């Protein structure tokens, strides 16, 4: 309970540095550069002899406020904000890997993450192997002497598979590698990977941290060394920095993060139970249901099940598309992490580019639908889905 109060307070009160105007709501510093009092101060800022802002590719007060607040919520020593979730993963990789290194990545990560590791970093001599996220011995078995990074997303998208962060942290430690967890689905309101032994946390702030589908953003968190010397060093030179406007929107998003995650998770659990009893539904995937294969691990690792519910309808693609097309309120969009409920048919959208065999092996069948539950009244969400399930 005490922990909860602390999280809520941190979400509202960390990273506030009032200006001379005494504003109550955080100020937004839309400026690309900062003014020095004289030549000596400019020189001191550049040598690092004096702390202070120089240029917004390096630091900006609104971005710094967001970084401070998110670091407090994740329990991290350091946080570097980036222009998107993908640039957070890119910045981490560019900072911590070099040609000849090997990466182990769970197979069911975000589609662009797979492309980044295999097609882009592969061209620079970084090799990536993919393993089943929940299969700890498979991670252990795929290690090589040059494995430098283990990368995992939990729960996975769209089947909500849970990877054991404590166990993977131990595997990484034995191998002398770092474990990075993409904490997009849970956010620190539900899961704190650093406390479970992960070295780095990645965020697509675009999703639940903003929570209202307004801006792109990302972050890398962890110990000061890898984050500040590594990731920040890359970012200030290469430039995928977060804009101060987006940082301000995200800063305000954090204020309501736990309330939103709790409310959306509660609705998701009830929706999952309702779907589980529906005669037109073959199977439901939700970490908060006792029928989930890793229910106990989820209970231990996450405070709640999260807002994403996937389910397979009887009748394959035709039946699934009927459910999508019968909705009148739920948004048909590939995004998630919004206060507005969204629905996706993974096999023909987010996972449409992979081969039919690979999809089948991954368990993404033609009847599968993914719903990211928002804040609308649950009865209206159920009614919207019930129409197409009839």
Ligand X SMILES: *Cc1c(COP(=O)(O)O)cnc(C)c1O
Q: Applying CB under 6 A, which residues contact ligand X?
A: 84-86, 110, 113, 153, 157, 182, 184, 204, 206-207, 216, 218
Rounded to an integer, what distance in angstroms lies between the CA atom of residue 49 and that of residue 36?
14
Rg value, the chain, Cα: 21
- Rounded to whole angstroms, the maximal C-alpha distance in the chain is 75
Which C-beta is closer to ligand X: that of 128 or that of 206? Answer: 206
Nearest residue to ligand X, scored by beta-carbon proximity: 85
Distance of CA 75 to the CA centre of its chain: 16
| Helix H or strand E segment including 383 | helix 378-389
Residue 126 in tokens:
């970084």
The token pair at 166 is: 């404590």
Q: Cβ of residue 86: shortest distance to ligand X, in angstroms?
A: 4
CA geometry: angle 250, 25, 263, nearest 5 deg: 50
Least Å distance, CB 127 to ligand X, is: 21
Instruction: Say whether 179 sits in a helix, a strand or coil.
Output: strand
CB of 390 to ligand X, least distance (A): 31
Query: Closest CB to ligand X among 105 and 323?
Result: 105
Minimum separation from the CB atom of position 204 to ligand X (A): 3
Question: For ligand X, which is the closer residue by CB, 85 or 133?
Answer: 85
**Could you count the other beta carbons within 10 Å of the beta carbon of residue 279?**
7
Minimum CB separation from ligand X for residue 319, in Å?
A: 26
Q: Residue 390 half-sphere exposure, CB side, CA atoms within 13 Å?
A: 9
Question: 75 or 111: whose CB is closer to ligand X?
Answer: 111
DSSP state of 350: T
As measured in angstroms, the least distance from the Cβ of 180 to ligand X is: 11
**Of 147 and 154, CB closest to ligand X:** 154
Is the Cβ of residue 60 or residue 82 nearer to ligand X in the bound state?
Answer: 82
- Identify how many contiguous H helices and E strands the chain contains and give both numbers: 16, 12
Name the minimum Å distance from CB 377 to ligand X: 26
The DSSP secondary-structure symbol of 354 reads: S
Looking at the Cβ atoms of 113 and 267, the one nearer to ligand X is 113
Residue number with CB closer to ligand X (148 or 370)? 370
CB of 216 to ligand X, least distance (A): 5
Q: Within 13 Å of residue 124, how many CA atoms lie on the same side as its CB? A: 12
The answer to whether 187 touches 228, Cβ cutoff 8 Å, is no
Q: Contact at 8 Å (CB) between 205 and 218?
A: yes
């Amino acid at each position: 309970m005490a922990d909860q109060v602390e999280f809520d307070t941190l979400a509202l009160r960390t990273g506030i540095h009032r200006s001379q105007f005494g504003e109550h709501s955080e100020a937004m510093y839309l400026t690309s550069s900062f003014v020095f009092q004289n030549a000596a101060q400019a020189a001191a800022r550049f040598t690092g002899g004096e702390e202070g802002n120089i240029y917004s590719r390096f630091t900006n007060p609104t971005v710094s406020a967001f970084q401070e607040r998110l670091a407090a919520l994740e329990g991290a020593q350091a946080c570097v904000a980036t222009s998107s979730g993908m640039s957070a993963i890119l910045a981490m990789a560019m900072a911590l890997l070099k040609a000849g290194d090997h990466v182990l990545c769970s197979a069911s990560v975000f589609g662009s993450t797979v492309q980044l590791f295999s097609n882009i970093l592969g061209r620079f001599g970084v090799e990536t192997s993919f393993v089943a996220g929940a299969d700890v011995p498979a991670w252990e078995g795929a290690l090589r002497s040059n494995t430098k990074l283990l990368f995992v997303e939990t729960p996975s998208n769209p089947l909500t598979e849970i990877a054991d962060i404590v166990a993977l942290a131990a595997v990484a430690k034995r191998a002398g590698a770092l474990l990075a967890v993409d904490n997009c689905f849970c956010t620190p309101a539900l899961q704190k990977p650093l406390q479970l032994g992960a070295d780095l946390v990645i965020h697509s702030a675009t999703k639940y941290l903003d929570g209202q589908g307004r801006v792109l953003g990302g972050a890398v968190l962890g110990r000061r060394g890898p984050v500040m010397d590594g990731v920040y060093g890359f970012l200030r030179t290469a430039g995928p920095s977060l804009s101060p406007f987006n940082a301000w929107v995200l800063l305000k998003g954090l204020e309501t993060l736990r309330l939103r995650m709790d409310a959306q998770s509660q609705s998701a659990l009830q929706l999952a139970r309702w779907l589980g009893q529906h005669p037109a539904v073959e199977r439901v995937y939700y970490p908060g249901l006792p029928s989930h294969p890793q229910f106990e691990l989820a209970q231990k690792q996450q405070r709640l099940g999260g807002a994403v519910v996937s389910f397979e309808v009887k009748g394959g693609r035709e039946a699934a598309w009927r459910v999508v097309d019968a909705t009148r309120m739920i948004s048909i969009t590939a995004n998630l992490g919004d206060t507005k409920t969204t629905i996706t048919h993974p096999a023909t959208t987010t996972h449409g580019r992979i081969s039919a065999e690979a999809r089948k092996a991954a368990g993404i069948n033609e009847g599968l639908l993914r719903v990211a539950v928002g804040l609308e009244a649950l009865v209206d969400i159920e009614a919207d889905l019930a129409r197409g399930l009839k």
